Structure 1
Amino acid sequence: MRKLLTILLIFLLTSLHMIGQNSEEHWDTYMASYENGKPGSTTLRMDLIDIAPMQDFNYVLVTGLVYETSKENGFPENEIFSVLHNAADELIEIIQPETDFVLVGSFMHNGKRLEYFYLKEQKNIISKIERFYKIKYPEYKFYLNIKEDKEWDYYLDFLYPNEETLNYMADQSVLRNLEEAGDDLIKARRVNHWLYFTKETEMNKCKAELIELGFIVHYAGINKETNLPFELQISRVDNVDISSIFPITSDLRKRAKNFNGEYDGWETSVEK
């Protein structure tokens, strides 16, 4: 079971073209804590959530080097990072001539850096990768496994972030935009929030709760352009560093759900 590791979570957003892929890819990185208390770093293609499982890519290949580290968090020493990245790049060169594939992500945790590929065919992949490791990285142990995964459970149920982590990443994205505009995130400022509901009565009940919490209501009425027709726009002066804003947005999401509604996000001004 994953838990959001707030103080360590990293959000990385890039758009790039990977070898063997034709469409633009959206890669993110996040960190979470696991049952053994150690953090794990997951890098994955977020865009695949809209099309997974991909037809004919029925086999998942999970493979990577096992490393030793003196760090309590289980992450590698600095000099090992380059070895792990090089090995990951070289794996693509091994797989590419053998079968069509989709590289969906990687996972680093407790002495392992594992790459996740979905393949059309297994062919001689196992033997070729075993030979690669033994020749190029004889001083390292390695993990190597291929299994059928037509439903893409490894991607959907393990690599893809849970709802709490996705919400945290969304807040981080807003904060990144503020920082890129020169905001140091120190000043408290008005923060606007939007919530949507199916029924006016439920919107009004939620509105009453939020007023008690010090929120100011700027609009409560119909919005014909949204799936949930009743819009509630509120604001409050708050700090916007991640430790402050994430608990606020998490609470608003829960309150909206309590009244069969949805929290739709927030915005604020740039303060320098």
Structure 2
Amino acid sequence: MQEYWELYMKNLEGKPSSIQFNAGISMDIDELQYSHPIVAFVKVKLKEPSEHGLIGEQEEPEILFMEDKLEASLIKFRIGKYVGRVISDGYVTFLFYVQFTYNWQDFLEFALEEFESYEISNGYQEDREWNYYKKLLYPTPKEWQLIQNHKVCDVLKAKEDNLHLARAIEHKLFFSNGDEKKDELVSKLDVKGFKIQSEIENEEGVKGLKFYRIDKPFYHDIDELTLYLIDLLEEYGASYDGWETSVVKS
């Protein structure tokens, strides 16, 4: 089973929230829904949250240590999978999917014996459809795009790119249900200042377009641009497929 983790921000009930989840587990979700039908949680009240209700720098090492202990305990008692955590409104909630619950209390005692100074609650319930994973932890297409945006920005920044400098940013799209509206879309992109580079086709034979415009790839700017393009392309039966650009140093 492949395991890799992603971290992103979202809004939950009007509160900024940090979501970390095991993205690799999604590849085996059909099997896991059958074998691990119970969602369980450990909810911890932060002692010193940041002004936005997230983890403060002073407290982060202890919460990460608690997370490690929970994972170690999960392995020791062989009851399930750790799938992610939510940090929001002054709380950290660790989420698991388990096979059974008869030794749930043993799991908790072993994991949390060193954290008596924290206010901690816990519980579990049946969730055969894995709705907590799919609808709370797993990102929407737009949230996935923001994750990818920030990864590209981080790579550019590591190469000493000045993200505030405008340059040609290349984008790709593919038509979801045929390209009947291609001419209309090309006209719309032209009005918005985009230039078509070429027609493209993916490995499955789906047709698309490569296009570009002069923009800044700074985090907030590229987020606003790509979210706009996702909505725009959807109107014309197309899906957005990411961006790339060259490194531009100061």
User: TM-score when scaled to structure 2?
Assistant: 0.88
**Residue in structure 1 matching 2:15, options 38, 41, 50:** 38
Q: Structure 1: which 5+ runs fail to align? A: 1-22
Equivalence map 1:84-99=2 (5 Å): 84-99=63-78
Report deviation, 1:141. 1.5
Whichever residue aligns with residue 15 of structure 2, its letter is K
- Assess if the C-alpha contact under 8 Å between 1:68 and 1:76 holds in 2: no
**Residue in structure 1 matching 2:232, options 252, 255, 272:** 255
Match of 1:109 in 2: 88
Report deviation, 1:127. 5.0
Match of 1:15 in 2: none
Q: Structure 2: which 5+ runs fail to align? A: none
User: TM-score when scaled to structure 1?
Assistant: 0.81
**Residue in structure 2 matching 1:194, options 153, 161, 172:** 172
Report deviation, 1:70. 6.1
Report deviation, 1:226. 4.1
Equivalence map 1:24-63=2 (5 Å): 24-35=2-13, 37-53=14-30, 54=32, 55-63=34-42
Question: Identity, % of aligned pairs?
Answer: 24
Report deviation, 1:144. 0.7
Equivalence map 1:171-190=2 (5 Å): 171-190=149-168
- Assess if the C-alpha contact under 8 Å between 1:191 and 1:266 holds in 2: yes
1:266 aligns with 2:239: no
Higher relative CO (CA 8 A, sep ≥ 6), structure 1 or 2? 2
In the superposition, relative to structure 1, how do residues 194 and 95 fare at CA in structure 2: closer, same or farther (>3 Å)? Answer: closer
Whichever residue aligns with residue 252 of structure 1, its letter is L
Secondary structure of the corresponding residue to residue 250 of structure 1:
helix
Matched residue count: 246
Cα deviation 1:50-103 (Å, max 9, x = unaligned): 222413112222014223336432234433222222222222333323224211
RMSD: 2.2
